[in-house]
């Protein structure tokens, strides 16, 4: 499976955020989308997810040699700030999600098995989501995307504000989930990208560029990347 972006352009007033992006992502890998804050990582995700309209560009998914346009069902999107219905309990939310997606999900497990998989304590499963910590809300976002099994998983800096234990749990989970899907993980933290991701893609000056991980292990190359990001910050 491959996901291809062709000639993606997005401009806000006089600022061109994404400049004729052409790129192909392959399944079974976690791609680290590396860029400074404000580089356009979230804009790229929002264009792919059609939360905002691109000025131009196309998105294609190729499965078993057959190419088609990307559909909403292909995409799972985990936001940096979790968005969950806080008036529901964790169990109610999970049950509701499964019920409204029953046809597309197919077979599913007992609810407690899902909670066990995400290491959500039994005493927390019937609490209102408004009383969940940031990390627990993030786990719930991840959980519904695990159940839905999208072809493409977009992760918009989901680990930045988590404590060390939860962040490590999430990283291990993502490593275990990468087979059979395309995972794109945005971050402005170079060390996190190196630790978690199979491929590094730099978003700078509105363009995507593959960066060899072996190069990023070099202090000189890291300094070059940091200098490029600083330069962009002053554009």
Mapped to the 3 state alphabet, what secondary structure does 135-188 carry? Answer: HHHHHHHHHHHHHHCCCEEEEECCCCCCCHHHHHHHHHHHHHHCCCCEEEEEEC
Can you count the helices (H) and strands (E) in the chain?
Answer: 9, 10
**Euclidean distance between CA atoms 77 and 95, whole angstroms:** 19
Distances from the Cα of 84 to the Cα of 124, 126, 131, 149, angstroms? 15, 15, 11, 19
Domain contains 175: yes
| φ, ψ of residue 158 in degrees (nearest 5) | -75, -10
Domain contains 36: yes
**Domain count within the chain:** 1
H or E element in which residue 18 lies: strand 15-26
In SS3 terms, 22-59 reads as EEEEECCCEEEEECCCCCCHHHHHHHHCCCCCCCEEEE
Statement: residue 98 has pLDDT above 80: yes
pLDDT tens for residues 135-174? 889 889 989 988 998 999 999 987 766 678 878 888 888 8
Average pLDDT for 20-38: 92
| φ, ψ of residue 139 in degrees (nearest 5) | -60, -40
Domain contains 94: no
Give the chain's mean pLDDT.
87
Q: Which two tokens stand for residue 73?
A: 């069902």
Domain contains 76: yes
Q: Which residues fall within 8 angstroms of residue 218, CB to CB, at 6 or more apart?
A: none
Domain contains 46: yes
Which CATH number belongs to the domain containing residue 175 in this structure?
A: 3.40.50.300
Task: Name which of 144, 162, 174 is nearest 75 in CA terms.
Answer: 144
Statement: residue 234 has pLDDT above 70: no
Domain extent, residue 27, equals 2-85+154-233
H or E element in which residue 98 lies: helix 90-100
Domain contains 51: yes
pLDDT band of residue 228 (cuts 50, 70, 90) is low
**Euclidean distance between CA atoms 153 and 72, whole angstroms:** 12
Domain contains 90: no
Domain contains 147: no
């Amino acid at each position: 499976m491959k996901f291809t972006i062709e000639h993606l352009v997005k401009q806000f007033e006089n600022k061109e955020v994404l400049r004729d992006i052409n790129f192909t992502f392959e399944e079974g890998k976690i791609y680290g989308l590396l860029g400074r804050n404000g580089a356009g990582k979230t804009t790229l995700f929002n264009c792919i997810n059609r939360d905002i309209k691109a000025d131009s560009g196309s998105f294609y998914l190729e499965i078993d040699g057959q190419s088609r346009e990307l559909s909403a069902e292909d995409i799972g999107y985990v936001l940096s700030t979790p968005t969950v219905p806080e008036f529901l309990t964790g169990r109610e939310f999970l049950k509701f999600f499964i019920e409204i997606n029953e046809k597309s999900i197919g077979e599913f497990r007992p609810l407690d098995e899902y909670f066990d998989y995400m290491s959500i304590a039994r005493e927390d499963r019937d609490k209102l989501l408004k009383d969940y910590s940031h990390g627990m809300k993030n786990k719930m976002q991840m959980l519904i995307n695990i159940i839905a099994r999208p072809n493409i998983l977009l992760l918009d800096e989901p680990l930045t504000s988590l404590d060390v234990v939860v962040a490590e749990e999430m990283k291990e989970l993502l490593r275990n989930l990468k087979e059979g899907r395309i995972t794109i993980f945005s971050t402005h933290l170079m060390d996190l990208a190196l630790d978690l991701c199979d491929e590094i893609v730099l978003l700078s000056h509105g363009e995507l560029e593959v960066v060899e991980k072996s190069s990023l292990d070099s202090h000189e190359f890291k300094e070059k990347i940091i200098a490029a990001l600083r330069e962009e910050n002053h554009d």
